[in-house]
Amino acid sequence: MQTTLILLKPDTIERGLIGNVISRIEAKWLQIAWMKMIQLDNDIINEHYAHIADKPFFPAIVKYMQRTPVIAIAAKGKNAVLVVRSLIWATNPLDALPWTVRGDLALNIDANIIHASDSEENAEIELKRFFKGEGIFEYSRLIDEVL
Ligand code: GDP
């Protein structure tokens, strides 16, 4: 069982797509193990996007990520990291297949709806970053009994 970190970015909140995206995560049989809405400050954005801090588009990302609060989700399930990356698909929505989150809902790379951890190692780091000090829930659902 793995747990991965998902962020619903400001365009998801602004466009009223929260339910659409979360329903895809649930429909894939993943369990929502934690969820909260937070306004990101500069420190957490700088940490989370340290790997693109030297890119020319970084200041625009910082502004975009602070336009509204975001929704942070811990999603749990078998191979959750890879499964969610497959659900969201390519960074650039132009390269994302239809029936995926970015393929269906995003038009350009400046506002691509969602973030999801890209490896088990990063999931662990990112879950700590967004849920530090707050335990992820353990509970069972009826639908998991037939898994
Ligand atoms: P992700 O894991 O698929 O989100 O991709 P990255 O970690 O490589 O990039 C983080 C975020 O930076 C992406 O989701 C985009 O919002 C943004 N980004 C990445 N590459 C570009 C780019 O070439 N141009 C612009 N405008 N934004 C980018």
Q: Which amino acid is at 87?
A: L
Q: Report how far residue 71's alpha carbon sits from residue 114's, in angstroms, rounded to the nearest whole number.
A: 10
pLDDT for res 132 = 85
Is the distance from the beta carbon of residue 102 to the nearest atom of ligand 1 less than 6 Å? no
51 CA → ligand 1 middle, Å? 10
In whole numbers, what is the pLDDT of the chain averaged over residues? Answer: 96
Q: Report how far residue 74's alpha carbon sits from residue 64's, in angstroms, rounded to the nearest whole number.
A: 22
- The pLDDT-based confidence of 65 (bands split at 50, 70, 90) is very high
Convert the pLDDT of each residue in 70-93 to its tens digit: 999 999 999 999 999 999 999 999
Is the distance from the beta carbon of residue 91 to the nearest atom of ligand 1 less than 6 Å? yes
Question: Do residues 75 and 136 make contact, with C-beta atoms less than 8 angstroms apart?
Answer: no
Phi-psi group of 3: left, alpha or beta (phi > 0 → left; psi -120 to 50 → alpha; rest → beta): beta
Q: Name the residue with tokens 């960074």.
A: 91
Convert the pLDDT of each residue in 14-23 to its tens digit: 999 999 999 9
Convert the pLDDT of each residue in 100-115 to its tens digit: 999 999 999 999 999 9
Does pTM top 0.85 for this prediction? yes
